[in-house]
Amino acid sequence: MFPARFNYYRAESLPEVLDLLARHGSEGKILAGGQSVIPLMKLRLASPAVLIDINRVRELQAIAGDERGGLRIGALTRHHHMEIKKWPRSLALLMDAARDIGDPQVRNLGTVGGALAEVDPAGDWGPVMLSLGARVRAVSPKGERTLPIDELFVDAFTTCLAEDELLREVEIPPLSDGTGTAYLKMERKAGDFAIASAAVRVNRSPDGRCQDVGIGLGGVGLVPLRARGAEDLLRGSNLEEELIREAEESVRKECEPLADIRGSVEFKRQVVGVLFRRALKIALRRAQGEEVEAGHV
Amino acid sequence: MADVITGNGKKLVGTSVRRKEDPDVLLGRETYTADLKLPGMVYAAIFRSPYAHALLKRVDLRRALALPGVIFGITGDSLPDFLKPMSLSPYRNVEWAELKVKNPQMNYFPHVCLARERVRFVGEPVAAVVATDPYVAEDALELIEAEFDPLPVVTSVEQALQPDAPLLYEEWGDNVQLRFKVSGGDVERAFREADLVVKETVISSRYTGTPMEPRVVIGRYSAEENYLEVWDTTQRTHSVSMFVRNSIDLPDLQVRVITLRVGGGFGQKRGFYSEEVLIPLLSILTHRPVKWVETRSEHMVGTSHGRQQVHQMEAAVKRDGTVLALRDRILADLGVAYPTSGTISVMTTLMFIPGAYRIQNYEGELLGVNTNKTVYGSHRAFGKADAAYAIERFMDVIAQELGMDPAELRLKNFIQPHEFPYLCVTGSRYDSGNYPQAFQDALKRAGNEKWREEQKRGWQQGRYLGIGVSLVIEPNSASKVATYNAGHYGVRMQMDPTGGVTVFCAGNDEGQGHGTAIGQLVADELGVEFDRVHTVEGDSLLCPFGSGSYSARFAVVGTSAVIMASRRLKEKLVRIAAQVLGVGVEEVRAEGGAVEVLKDPSRRLSYQQIAQVAYFEVLRLPAGVEPGLEVLYYYIDSNLQAADLRKVPDERGRYAVYSTFPYAANVAVVEVDVETGRVRLLEYVSTDDCGRMINPAEVVSQYMGAFAHGLGGAFYEELVYDEGGQPLAQNFKDYLVPTALEVPRVKLAHMETPNPFTPGGFKGASETGAVGPTPTIANAVEDALRPLGVKLRRIPITPAIVWEAIQKAKGLK
- What does the H/E/C string look like for B422-468? EECCCCCEECCCCHHHHHHHHHHHHCHHHHHHHHHHHHHCCCEEEEE
A32-50 exposure pattern, b = at least 16 Cβ within 10 A, e = fewer: bbbbbbbebbbbbebebeb
Q: Is B673 on the interface with A (CB under 8 A)?
A: yes
Query: Across the interface, which of B135, B678, B736 has its CB nearest the CB of A192?
Result: B736
Mutation test of the interface with chain B: which of A267, A272, A278, choosing the one with the most B Cβ atoms within 10 A? Answer: A267
> Domain end: B302, B322, B339, which one?
B302
Helix (H) or strand (E) holding A129: helix A125-132
More confident residue, B13 or B5: B13
Task: State the pLDDT at residue B676.
Answer: 97
From the CA of B528, how many Å to the nearest CA of chain A? 46
CA B716 to chain centre: 20
Residue B269 pLDDT greater than 50, yes or no: yes
- In a shared domain, residues B374 and B313: yes
Summarize pLDDT for B239-256 with one digit per residue, the tens: 999 999 999 999 999 999
From the CA of A272, how many Å to the nearest CA of chain B? 9
Q: What is the CATH number of the domain that holds B138?
A: 3.90.1170.50
Asked, as a colleague might, if the bond just before B211 is cis with ω within 30 of 0, I would say no
Q: Is B728 on the interface with A (CB under 8 A)?
A: yes
Q: What residues pair up with A64 in beta bridges, in sequence order?
A: A72
CB-based contacts of B260, cutoff 8 Å, min separation 6 = B31, B32, B33, B36, B231, B233, B538
Residue A64 placed within a domain: yes
**What mean pLDDT comes out for the span B626-640?**
92
Residue B105 placed within a domain: yes
Mutation test of the interface with chain B: which of A120, A188, A275, choosing the one with the most B Cβ atoms within 10 A? Answer: A188
Categorize the per-residue pLDDT at B641 as very low, low, confident or very high, splitting at 50, 70 and 90: low
CB-based contacts of B461, cutoff 8 Å, min separation 6 = none
Summarize pLDDT for B436-472 with one digit per residue, the tens: 999 999 999 999 999 999 999 999 999 999 999 999 9
- In a shared domain, residues A49 and A83: no
3-class SS at B193? Answer: helix
Residue B642 placed within a domain: no
Q: How many CB atoms lie within 10 A of CB B601?
A: 12
Q: Is B138 on the interface with A (CB under 8 A)?
A: yes
From the CA of A235, how many Å to the nearest CA of chain B? 26
3-class SS at A228? Answer: helix
- In a shared domain, residues B2 and B141: no
**What mean pLDDT comes out for the span B232-236?**
96
Residue A292 placed within a domain: no
**What mean pLDDT comes out for the span B777-796?**
94
- In a shared domain, residues A274 and A222: yes
> Domain end: A143, A172, A201, which one?
A172
3-class SS at B809? Answer: helix
Percent of chain B with pLDDT over 70: 95
CB-based contacts of B169, cutoff 8 Å, min separation 6 = B107, B109, B175, B337, B370
From the CA of A268, how many Å to the nearest CA of chain B? 8
- In a shared domain, residues A62 and A49: no
CA angle, B242 then B244 then B249, to 5°: 100
Task: State the pLDDT at residue B308.
Answer: 94
- In a shared domain, residues A89 and A19: no
User: H-type helices in B161-295, by residue range?
Assistant: 187-193, 237-247, 274-286
Q: Is A6 on the interface with B (CB under 8 A)?
A: no
Query: Across the interface, which of A43, A193, A195 has its CB nearest the CB of B799?
Result: A195
Q: Is B678 on the interface with A (CB under 8 A)?
A: yes
User: Helix B384-402 crosses helix B773-784 at what angle (to 10 degrees)?
Assistant: 30
Q: How many CB atoms lie within 10 A of CB B486?
A: 15
DSSP code of residue B622: P
- In a shared domain, residues B358 and B471: no
3-class SS at B576? Answer: helix
Residue B184 pLDDT greater than 80, yes or no: yes
DSSP code of residue A4: P
Summarize pLDDT for B682-726 with one digit per residue, the tens: 999 999 999 999 999 999 999 999 999 999 999 999 999 999 999
> Domain end: A148, A172, A196, which one?
A172
> Domain end: B302, B336, B359, which one?
B302
> Domain end: A142, A172, A202, which one?
A172
Percent of chain B with pLDDT over 90: 87
Q: What residues pair up with A184 in beta bridges, in sequence order?
A: A198
Q: What is the CATH number of the domain that holds A43?
A: 3.30.43.10
Burial of B221 (0-12, 13-18, 19+ CB in 10 A): buried
Cβ-based contacts of B731 with chain A (< 8 Å): 43
Residue B780 placed within a domain: yes
Interstrand relation of B290-293 and B42-48 (parallel, antiparallel or unpaired) = parallel
Nearest residue of B to residue A262, measured between CA atoms = B800
- In a shared domain, residues B175 and B222: no
Query: Across the interface, which of B734, B738, B800 has its CB nearest the CB of A264?
Result: B800
Categorize the per-residue pLDDT at B1 as very low, low, confident or very high, splitting at 50, 70 and 90: very low
Residue B15 placed within a domain: no
Q: Is B723 on the interface with A (CB under 8 A)?
A: no
Q: What residues pair up with A137 in beta bridges, in sequence order?
A: A146, A169
**Do A261 and B673 lie within an 8 Å CB cutoff?**
no
> What is d(CA B198, CA B313) in angstroms, rounded to the nearest whole number?
8
Residue B738 pLDDT greater than 90, yes or no: yes
Task: State the pLDDT at residue B546.
Answer: 87
Q: Is B91 on the interface with A (CB under 8 A)?
A: no
Q: Is B712 on the interface with A (CB under 8 A)?
A: no
- In a shared domain, residues B571 and B707: no
Cβ-based contacts of A195 with chain B (< 8 Å): 799-800
> Shortest CA distance to B634 belongs to which of B491, B769, B752?
B491
- Say how many domains are in chain A: 3
Categorize the per-residue pLDDT at B638 as very low, low, confident or very high, splitting at 50, 70 and 90: confident
- In a shared domain, residues B195 and B331: yes
> Shortest CA distance to B240 belongs to which of B271, B281, B278?
B271
**What mean pLDDT comes out for the span A158-173?**
95
The C-alpha torsion from B417 through B423 and B426 to B427, rounded to 10°, is 140
Burial of A65 (0-12, 13-18, 19+ CB in 10 A): exposed
Residue A144 placed within a domain: yes
Task: State the pLDDT at residue A223.
Answer: 97
Cα B360 to Cα B326, B354, B433: the distances in Å are 9, 8, 18
Categorize the per-residue pLDDT at B642 as very low, low, confident or very high, splitting at 50, 70 and 90: very low
- Taken in order B343, B348, B354, B360, is the CA torsion positive or negative? positive
Query: Across the interface, which of B142, B296, B803 has its CB nearest the CB of A270?
Result: B803
Q: Is B321 on the interface with A (CB under 8 A)?
A: no
Residue B14 placed within a domain: no
Q: Structural domain of residue A240, as residue ranges?
A: 179-287
Burial of B367 (0-12, 13-18, 19+ CB in 10 A): buried
Residue B631 placed within a domain: yes
Residue B730 pLDDT greater than 60, yes or no: yes
Helix (H) or strand (E) holding B490: strand B488-495
Are the C-beta atoms of residues A36 and A118 closer than 8 Å to each other?
yes
Query: Across the interface, which of B728, B731, B803 has its CB nearest the CB of A267?
Result: B803
Nearest residue of A to residue B679, measured between CA atoms = A297
Task: State the pLDDT at residue A69.
Answer: 86
Cβ-based contacts of A267 with chain B (< 8 Å): 677, 799-800, 803-804
Q: Is A2 on the interface with B (CB under 8 A)?
A: yes
Residue A159 placed within a domain: yes
- In a shared domain, residues B707 and B777: yes
Residue B102 pLDDT greater than 70, yes or no: no
**Do B716 and A188 lie within an 8 Å CB cutoff?**
yes
Residue B195, φ and ψ in degrees, nearest 5: -80, -25
**Do B676 and A271 lie within an 8 Å CB cutoff?**
yes
User: In what order do the strands lie in the sheet containing B290-293?
Assistant: B70-75, B125-131, B42-48, B290-293, B216-222, B227-232, B254-258
> What is d(CA B379, CA B348) in angstroms, rounded to the nearest whole number?
12
- In a shared domain, residues B440 and B563: no
Query: Across the interface, which of B137, B720, B736 has its CB nearest the CB of A189?
Result: B736
Residue A294 placed within a domain: no
Nearest residue of B to residue A36, measured between CA atoms = B733
**Do A267 and B729 lie within an 8 Å CB cutoff?**
no
Least confidently predicted of A100-104, B59-63, B438-442: A100-104
Q: Output the pTM of the full model.
A: 0.95
Task: State the pLDDT at residue B6.
Answer: 33
Percent of chain A with pLDDT over 70: 100
- Taken in order A86, A88, A91, A96, is the CA torsion positive or negative? positive
> What is d(CA A172, CA A169) in angstroms, rounded to the nearest whole number?
10
> What is d(CA B568, CA A116) in angstroms, rounded to the nearest whole number?
70
- Say how many domains are in chain B: 4
Residue B655 placed within a domain: no
Task: State the pLDDT at residue A1.
Answer: 72
Q: What is the DSSP string of B135-183?
A: HHHHHHHTT-EEEEEE-----SHHHHTSTTPPPSSGGGSSSEEEEEEEE
- In a shared domain, residues A47 and A74: no
Nearest residue of B to residue A1, measured between CA atoms = B295
Categorize the per-residue pLDDT at A25 as very low, low, confident or very high, splitting at 50, 70 and 90: confident
Task: State the pLDDT at residue B812.
Answer: 66
**Average pLDDT for chain B:** 93
- In a shared domain, residues A64 and A168: yes
Summarize pLDDT for A31-78 with one digit per residue, the tens: 999 999 999 999 999 999 999 999 999 999 989 988 888 999 999 999
> What is d(CA B104, CA B480) in angstroms, rounded to the nearest whole number?
14
Categorize the per-residue pLDDT at B3 as very low, low, confident or very high, splitting at 50, 70 and 90: very low
Residue B811 pLDDT greater than 90, yes or no: no
**What mean pLDDT comes out for the span B97-117?**
76
**What mean pLDDT comes out for the span B593-609?**
96
3-class SS at B226? Answer: coil
Cβ-based contacts of A297 with chain B (< 8 Å): 673, 676, 678
Query: Across the interface, which of B297, B720, B807 has its CB nearest the CB of A43?
Result: B297
Q: Is A45 on the interface with B (CB under 8 A)?
A: no
Task: State the pLDDT at residue B91.
Answer: 64
Are the C-beta atoms of residues B186 and B361 closer than 8 Å to each other?
yes
> Shortest CA distance to B525 belongs to which of B434, B631, B650, B612?
B631
Q: Is A43 on the interface with B (CB under 8 A)?
A: yes
Q: Is B365 on the interface with A (CB under 8 A)?
A: no
Q: Is A1 on the interface with B (CB under 8 A)?
A: yes
**Do A44 and B138 lie within an 8 Å CB cutoff?**
yes
Task: State the pLDDT at residue A273.
Answer: 98
Query: Across the interface, which of A2, A188, A191 has its CB nearest the CB of B138?
Result: A2
**Do B741 and A189 lie within an 8 Å CB cutoff?**
yes
Residue B364 pLDDT greater than 80, yes or no: yes
- In a shared domain, residues A72 and A91: yes
Query: Across the interface, which of B296, B676, B731 has its CB nearest the CB of A186?
Result: B676
Are the C-beta atoms of residues A214 and A287 closer than 8 Å to each other?
no
Nearest residue of B to residue A265, measured between CA atoms = B800
Helix (H) or strand (E) holding A271: helix A265-287
Q: Structural domain of residue B276, as residue ranges?
A: 33-151+209-302
> What is d(CA B565, CA B196) in angstroms, rounded to the nearest whole number?
55
Interstrand relation of A143-148 and A135-140 (parallel, antiparallel or unpaired) = antiparallel
Residue A2 placed within a domain: no
> What is d(CA B282, CA B79) in angstroms, rounded to the nearest whole number?
10
Residue B57 placed within a domain: yes
- In a shared domain, residues B493 and B591: yes
- In a shared domain, residues A163 and A251: no
- In a shared domain, residues B257 and B340: no
Q: What is the CATH number of the domain that holds A150?
A: 3.30.465.10
> What is d(CA B243, CA B247) in angstroms, rounded to the nearest whole number?
6
Categorize the per-residue pLDDT at B97 as very low, low, confident or very high, splitting at 50, 70 and 90: very low
Cβ-based contacts of A103 with chain B (< 8 Å): 739
Are the C-beta atoms of residues B420 and B433 closer than 8 Å to each other?
yes
- In a shared domain, residues B256 and B139: yes
From the CA of A226, how many Å to the nearest CA of chain B? 21
- In a shared domain, residues B319 and B373: yes
- Which A positions 168-207 lie with beta carbon below 8 A of chain B? 186, 188-193, 195
Q: Is A44 on the interface with B (CB under 8 A)?
A: yes
CB-based contacts of B731, cutoff 8 Å, min separation 6 = A43, B296, B297, B300
CB-based contacts of A53, cutoff 8 Å, min separation 6 = A8, A9, A10, A11, A31
From the CA of B205, how many Å to the nearest CA of chain A? 14
Residue B358 pLDDT greater than 80, yes or no: yes
Residue A265 placed within a domain: yes
**Do B742 and A189 lie within an 8 Å CB cutoff?**
yes
Residue A296 placed within a domain: no
Q: Is A53 on the interface with B (CB under 8 A)?
A: no
Are the C-beta atoms of residues A39 and A105 closer than 8 Å to each other?
no
CB-based contacts of B717, cutoff 8 Å, min separation 6 = B207, B208, B709, B735, B736, B737, B796
Task: State the pLDDT at residue B176.
Answer: 96
Nearest residue of A to residue B800, measured between CA atoms = A263
- In a shared domain, residues A219 and A131: no
User: In what order do the strands lie in the sheet containing B604-606?
Assistant: B588-591, B594-597, B604-606
Are the C-beta atoms of residues B218 and B251 closer than 8 Å to each other?
no
